[in-house]
């Protein structure tokens, strides 16, 4: 099978959200001697990009994104050991640590943001829900995050977004991380008021803002 055809199959498996096809295509790529990094960057990531574009145009929704991500990860189970054996790493766009703040257990919006970020090639560390402020900061240090993204779905949990920013300041770490906020009751005005670096009204906007902030920071 031609390299080009294998790459197209890898991408198609992701677009179709078909984990089994992705595993088979990943094995085929390695059998044919394709560089595992190329298989990811030119094959799987292309498929994720297609799904991400369709999501931004409103043609597909969260289920298609999640299925694409599952298919991508299925192929990575095959490709990652080979990449490690060859000491190869994916080019890093940026690492985003995200979670829903303390006192809040809502997660759909956060999950959408995480999945859209993954389709755009970001390394995403999703801490889940009800995360204490210090928890975000300790994890950000551990994973060397570029961005901390804080979700809040209730007016009573919004102050916890401010708390993360204030704690970063108290620990002299504010300049180390970009902080963006989002969630149902959160507004641009609130983001400005608490000194966040950005606010995303929707998942698509959040991703655009993160890209823009990282580009500005350089």
Partner 1 sequence: MPDFLDFMERAVTGPIVSEHDFYMKTLIPSIRRLLDDFDIKYDPTSPLPWDDNLADRLFEAAIELLAATGVYCDGTNRIISMDREEIKEALEGLPEGRTFGEGSERRLFVSRKPGDSRPPWCHVGTGIVASSEDIATAEVEGYGRIPEANSISIPALNRVRGMPVIGGSPLEIHATINSVQAGRRALWRCGRPGLPILNLISSATTAVATIAGTHPTFGLRPSDGWLIDVIAEMKVNFETLNRLAFVLITGGNVGSAALPILGGYGGGPAGTALLMAAYYLVGILLFRAVYHLTGPIHFNHGCSTTRGCLWVFSVVGRATSRNTRFPAIGLGYSAAGPCTRMYFYETAAVNLCCVTSGYGGVQTVHPARAVIEDGVTPLEALFNVETAYAATGMEPERANELVDRLLEKYEKDIENAPPGKRYQECYDMGTKAPLEEYVRLYGETKEELAKMGIPFGR
Binding interface with partner 1 (CB under 8 A)? 58, 61-64, 66-67, 70, 103-109, 112, 154-160, 162, 184-187, 201-204
Nearest approach in angstroms of CB 135 to partner 1 is: 16
Residue 70 or 82: the one with the smaller Cβ distance to partner 1 is: 70
Residue 103 or 135: the one with the smaller Cβ distance to partner 1 is: 103
Nearest approach in angstroms of CB 93 to partner 1 is: 23
- How far from 190 is each of 155, 156, 167, 187, CA to CA, in Å? 11, 13, 17, 5
Residue 12 or 110: the one with the smaller Cβ distance to partner 1 is: 110
Nearest approach in angstroms of CB 127 to partner 1 is: 14
Residue 5 or 20: the one with the smaller Cβ distance to partner 1 is: 20
Residue 43 or 183: the one with the smaller Cβ distance to partner 1 is: 183
Q: Of the candidates 119, 111, 124, which has an alpha carbon nearest to the alpha carbon of residue 44?
A: 119
End-to-end CA distance of the chain: 40
Give 3-state DSSP helix, strand, coil % of the chain, rounded to 5. 60, 10, 30
Nearest approach in angstroms of CB 27 to partner 1 is: 23
129 secondary structure, DSSP code = S
> With 0-12 CB in 10 A as exposed, 13-18 as middle and 19+ as buried, what is 193?
exposed
Nearest approach in angstroms of CB 17 to partner 1 is: 10
**Cα dihedral across residues 16, 8, 124, 55: positive or negative:** negative
């Amino acid at each position: 099978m031609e390299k080009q055809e294998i790459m197209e199959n890898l991408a198609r498996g992701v677009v179709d959200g078909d984990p089994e096809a992705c595993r088979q295509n990943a094995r085929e790529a390695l059998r044919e001697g394709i560089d595992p990094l190329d298989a990811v960057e030119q094959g799987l990531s292309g498929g994720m990009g297609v799904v991400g574009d369709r999501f931004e145009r409103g043609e597909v929704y969260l289920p298609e994104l999640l299925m694409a991500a599952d298919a991508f990860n299925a192929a990575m189970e095959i490709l990652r050991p080979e990449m490690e054996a060859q000491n190869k790493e994916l080019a890093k766009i940026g690492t985003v640590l995200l979670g829903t703040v303390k006192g809040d257990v809502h997660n759909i919006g956060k999950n959408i943001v995480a999945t859209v970020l993954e389709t755009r090639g970001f390394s995403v560390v999703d801490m889940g829900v009800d995360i204490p402020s210090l928890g975000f900061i300790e994890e950000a240090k551990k994973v060397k995050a570029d961005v901390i993204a804080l979700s809040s779905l209730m007016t009573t949990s919004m102050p916890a977004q401010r708390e993360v920013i204030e704690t970063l300041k108290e620990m002299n770490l504010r300049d180390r991380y970009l902080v963006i906020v989002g969630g149902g009751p959160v507004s641009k005005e609130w983001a400005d008021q608490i000194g966040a670096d950005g606010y995303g009204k929707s998942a698509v906007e959040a991703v655009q803002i993160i890209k823009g902030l990282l580009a500005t920071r350089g």
